[in-house]
DNA sequence: TGACATACTACGACAGGCGGAGTATATTAT
DNA sequence: ATAATATACTCCGCCTGTCGTAGTATGTCA
């Protein structure tokens, strides 16, 4: 089985997270499941990778956190949600452009099929 | 200008080098120029990145080194050439498969256009 | 009652990339 | 003749993102 190595995906974990936050604010566990689902289980982000990405991106101003209840009645444990900022949206768009370039570059070294 | 960040290309420097060595044995400076040319200057590998890749890949058994003269008359300074091994060829093929998967995964998080 | 899901935090190791500096020879321009 | 530039490397150490391991605490379901 071919698996995606961390060195390969390294530059795109943040982008994937931001992509999900473009739709709606979300939190760790949910984002983790979103990534798994959207890739049909082909990629599962590690917990530590995910949470350290939150810290880094909040520091960089790409996301903002807020604590909220899981439901309006205030039941359940509070969660830390993240919301994408304008800077985050810009960063995401840049990464999409960069991806186009990267794909072009890398494929010049791949066997055709 | 969009530039390829090292975190993105990280998983593919070795693959690019091996791709060039699939054609013929080569050495540092020439490989560096090959990468630059093949990508139309879109990607230029750093010297230290290149030479440390040689060390790593030789240790891993993906390449073998030999010292030779630049020309048959024995003029000029000797160079360290690298030749891809069978293990290196296999590794390269695996990376090509991994690329297909990575591309699929990453693009599920990219804006369409 | 106990397993499993949810929702995190902390710590430290590891690996690849890279900046900076240095060495040495060869070729080309002035 | 000399200076600049290209070639062909090596060494050292920092930085960053990933990830293994471990721990905490609540919620839910059988």
Q: How far apart are CA A82 and CA A32, in angstroms?
A: 13
Q: Tell me, yes or no, whether B1 lies in a domain.
A: no
A79 touches strand C (CB under 7 A): yes
Q: What is the 3-state secondary structure (H, E, C) of chain B?
A: CCCCCHHHHHHHHHHHHHHHHHHCCEEHHHHHHHHHHHCCCCCCCCHHHHHHHHHHHHHCCCEEEEEECCCCCCCCCCEEEEEECHHHHHHHHHHHHHHHHHHHHHHCCCCCC
pLDDT digits (tens, 9 = 90+) for B26-40: 999 999 999 999 999
Please report, for the domain that includes residue A88, its CATH number: 1.10.10.10
Quick one: pLDDT band at residue A101, thresholds 50, 70, 90?
very high
Q: How far apart are CA A40 and CA A29, in angstroms?
A: 17
Using a CB–CB cut-off of 8 Å, the residues of A that contact B are 2-5, 7-12, 15-16, 19-20, 38-39, 42-43, 93-94, 96-99, 101-111
- A43/B8 Cβ within 8 A: no
Contact between B10 and A8 under an 8 Å Cβ cutoff? The reply is yes
**Which structural domain range is residue A88 located in?**
6-107
Q: How far apart are CA B47 and CA A29, in angstroms?
A: 41
Q: Tell me, yes or no, whether B82 lies in a domain.
A: yes
**Percent with pLDDT over 90 in chain A:** 81
**Percent with pLDDT over 70 in chain A:** 94
Q: Residue B87 pLDDT > 70, yes or no?
A: yes
Nearest to B27 by CA among B66, B76, B80, B101: B80
pLDDT value at residue A69: 82
Q: Tell me, yes or no, whether B22 lies in a domain.
A: yes
Q: Tell me, yes or no, whether A113 lies in a domain.
A: no
Contact between B62 and B53 under an 8 Å Cβ cutoff? The reply is no
Q: Residue B113 pLDDT > 60, yes or no?
A: no
pLDDT digits (tens, 9 = 90+) for A5-60: 888 899 899 999 999 999 999 999 999 999 999 999 999 999 999 999 999 999 99
Q: Could you say which of B9, B11, B105 has the minimum Cβ distance to residue A42?
A: B105
pTM attached to this predicted model? 0.92
Q: Tell me, yes or no, whether B50 lies in a domain.
A: yes
Q: Residue A113 pLDDT > 50, yes or no?
A: no
Partners of residue B80 on adjacent β-strands: B67
Give how many domains chain A has, as a whole number.
Answer: 1
Q: Tell me, yes or no, whether A54 lies in a domain.
A: yes
Kindly report the bases of strand C lying within 7 A of a protein C-beta atom: 6-12, 16-21, 25-27
Phi then psi for residue A33, to 5 deg, are -70, -35
pLDDT value at residue B110: 92
Mutate to test the interface with B, among A8, A13, A36, A45 (most CBs of B within 10 A): A8
Q: How far apart are CA B46 and CA A57, in angstroms?
A: 27
Q: In sequence order, which ranges of chain A are alpha helices (DSSP H)?
A: 6-9, 13-23, 28-38, 47-59, 86-107
Question: Angle formed by the axes of helices B47-59 and B13-23, to 10°?
Answer: 70
User: In the A/B pair of chains, how many CB contacts fall below 8 A?
Assistant: 102
Q: Could you say which of B2, B15, B105 has the minimum Cβ distance to residue A109?
A: B15
B107 touches strand D (CB under 7 A): no
Quick one: pLDDT band at residue B45, thresholds 50, 70, 90?
very high
**Of A74-78, B38-42, B53-57, minimum mean pLDDT range:** A74-78
Chain B residues with CB under 8 Å of A10 CB are 7-8, 10-11
pLDDT value at residue B73: 63
């Amino acid at each position: 089985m071919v698996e995606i190595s961390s060195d390969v995906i390294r530059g795109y974990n943040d982008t994937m997270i931001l992509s999900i936050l473009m739709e709606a604010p979300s939190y760790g566990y949910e984002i983790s499941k979103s990534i798994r689902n959207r890739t049909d289980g082909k990629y599962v982000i590690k917990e530590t990778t995910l949470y350290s990405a939150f810290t880094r991106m909040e520091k960089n101003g790409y996301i903002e956190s807020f604590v909220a209840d899981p439901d309006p009645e205030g039941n359940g444990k509070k969660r830390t949600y993240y919301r994408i900022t304008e800077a985050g949206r810009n960063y995401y768009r840049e990464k999409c452009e960069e991806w186009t370039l990267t794909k072009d570059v890398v494929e010049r070294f791949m066997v055709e099929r």
